[in-house]
Structure formats: C-alpha cells, structure tokens
Amino acid sequence: MTPTTTPGVPLDPLAERALIAETLIASAARLMAVRDELELVRGVCVAMCGASQHIRLAWTWFGDEKSDVIQPQAYAGVASDYAARTLIRRSRLTEPGPVFRTLGGKAPEQFPVSLDSPYGPWRELAQAHGVRSVMAVPLKSTLSGMGGLFVIYADHEDYFHEVGESLFTALGELFSSVLTSLAERTTLEQAVNHDALTGVLNRHALPIIERRLLRRTPSDPLSFLLMVDVDHFKAVNDKLGHAVGDQVLHKVATALRGVLRPDDSVMRWGGEEFLVCLPGTQHEDALLVAEKLRRAVAELAGPAPVTVSIGVAEVMAGRALAASIDIADQAMLQAKGAGRNRIVYRD
C-alpha cells in the first residue's frame, strides 16, 4: 500500500506554523458562529488539516478520566477513516499506553511512528498515510473527574519539535474550554429536562422532542402522542400516603420506559399524567404500543396495584403540537369516562 502523503514535500517549520495560525485566525469568526460544541472542535480540526500538507489526522475525545474506552468524537484529515473506527480500551491495551498515559496528565507527549511501531494501529497509519509522529495533548476540565485528549498525527518524525508544541497546546486549551462548556450544558439540560421523582423527561424537554415529532407535509413519517393517566391515583395518596404514591409513579414511569423503543420518549406531564411520544410510528403500531403500556402497568406488583387510561392522537401535518396534545388528553378523559384501564383513539 502506498502512503497517501505527498513525497518530497519539505517541512518549513516557521512557514508551517504561520500557515496554520493564519488559517485558524481567518476562520475564527465562522467557527465561533457554530452553536454545537463538537462541530466547533471538528471545524478547527478541518481548518488545521486543510492548511497543512503534513498533518494527516487530528481528533479529540472528552469524558470521564477513568473511562475504559476512548473513541474519537470530532476528527478531520486524510486519515479520518482511522479515527472513525478507532476504539481504544484501557483494559486491553498491552502496548506502552500511547493514549491513556497522556489522559489525565499535565503535559503533552510525543510518540514516534514507523513501519515497525510496537503499537499495531500506528503501523497501519505509517503504511497507509505516511504518519511518522503523534502528539497527544491532555484536555483539562473544570468538572471534577472529566478530562480528554487532542491527538495530532504528522508525516515528519520531528514535526512537533520543529513546528513547536505551543501551537497545539494552545488549541488544547481552547478545546478544554469548549468541551467543558458542552459537559456543563449537558449536565444542566439533564437536570432541567428530567423529573427528579420518576427520572423521565419533564415539560421543559418538549421543545427538544417537538423537532422529532412535527410533520411539515403529509408525506413526512407519521408520529403519535399517548396521554397516560394513572387511574384512581388520588385514592392511593389518600389511603396509603404520598410516599407510596411516589413509589407508584416511579414504578409506572419505569414500566413505560421498559416498553418503548430508544427513539421514543416519555415525560411526566403533570401529577399522575405521562406523555409518550412515538416518532416514525404507524397507526396500528401506536395502538399496539399503547396496549403494551396499559398491560405493563396493570401487571406491576407493589403496595398499590394501579391501572392507566390512555388517549392516542396522531400528530397531523400542519397542526400545532399543542393541539395534538390536547386531542390526546381529550381521548384519555374519554377512556376514563368509559370505565378506565382502556385506550381511546381520537383524530
């Protein structure tokens, strides 16, 4: 296999450093307009790899410093296929730890790469892409226990010594701030969008779910809403106390989640009501899911066996989601009026 690096391209360290820096500065305004943190990091990697004829790959990872697995999250370069399929396990790493040794460290480390590299994947990079050196920059987070890596692959043995580490450590500091911001926002969204009692989503998450449900045209995939209400829940609280009532709600929420697909969502709508969202679902499947939910709750064991009444409504193209939720709610009330522990569909 012939290396994809351009043979005979000399390395001018000062020109290389200036070119990368100028490219990043020139693209800064465009990159800073990107709202997704990982896309911002990827954009920087794309700009850097595009500016240099010698950087073959750059990738980043961010997560728990004690994680057993590292998998690139944002990457760019002609060797991106390597990053896309790279999964490094701490427990299975028998070589000298070219990545995990840097994770959690205070300083970047450089590693030589050759056709005889002891680390197998790097032998492949040396052959396929002419990689001769790798630099791993630790990412530092203000969140306790979180860390990350910024890893760059170049086609010259002394590339990082000659060009200088400072350019890449500076990018590492930038990535640290960006990825810490992502982690903080994710943690905040988790707290804001989830119900503390049941662990399912709450109403604050509806704008996020809405994007997956709304149908702009009749040809868009069907979506359905299920309003699920626990029958006679007030009697449970009155007779057995609110602590038991809380246990019941938690068990019902767990039962609902156990039936749903990964792309489905369930949120606590209020009190003893839950809204189940089924994107990309056919009419008969929505009714089948509703029946599975009804049965799953009815079969729950516990201090207070309960049932649920379920209203089903289709998310119509051109109709506001709030209107579809209202129709599902009306269908649920109709199910209660008809004797509870049943399902009613309304269009």
Over the stretch 220-234, which tens digit does the pLDDT of each residue have? 899 999 999 999 999
Q: For residue 3, is it within any domain? A: no
Q: Which domain holds residue 252?
A: 203-346
* Same domain? 41 vs 172: yes
Q: Pick the residue with more confidence: 261 or 153? A: 153
* Same domain? 237 vs 144: no
Is 37 an active-site residue? no
For residue 209, give the CATH number of its domain: 3.30.70.270
Q: What pLDDT is stored for residue 126 in this prediction?
A: 94
Q: For residue 89, is it within any domain? A: yes
| pLDDT single digits (tens) 62-96 | 988 888 889 999 999 999 999 999 888 877 655 54
Q: Which of 16, 37, 272, 314 is catalytic?
A: 272
pLDDT of residue 205 exceeding 90, the answer is no
Reduced to 3 states (helix: H, G, I; strand: E, B; else coil), residue 15 is helix
Q: For residue 2, is it within any domain? A: no
> In degrees rounded to 5, what are phi and psi of residue 259?
-90, -30
Q: Pick the residue with more confidence: 166 or 188? A: 166
pTM (2 decimals)? 0.58
* Same domain? 231 vs 184: no
Alpha helix segments (H runs only) across the chain: 13-26, 28-32, 37-51, 80-84, 120-129, 159-163, 166-193, 206-213, 233-240, 242-259, 283-298, 321-337
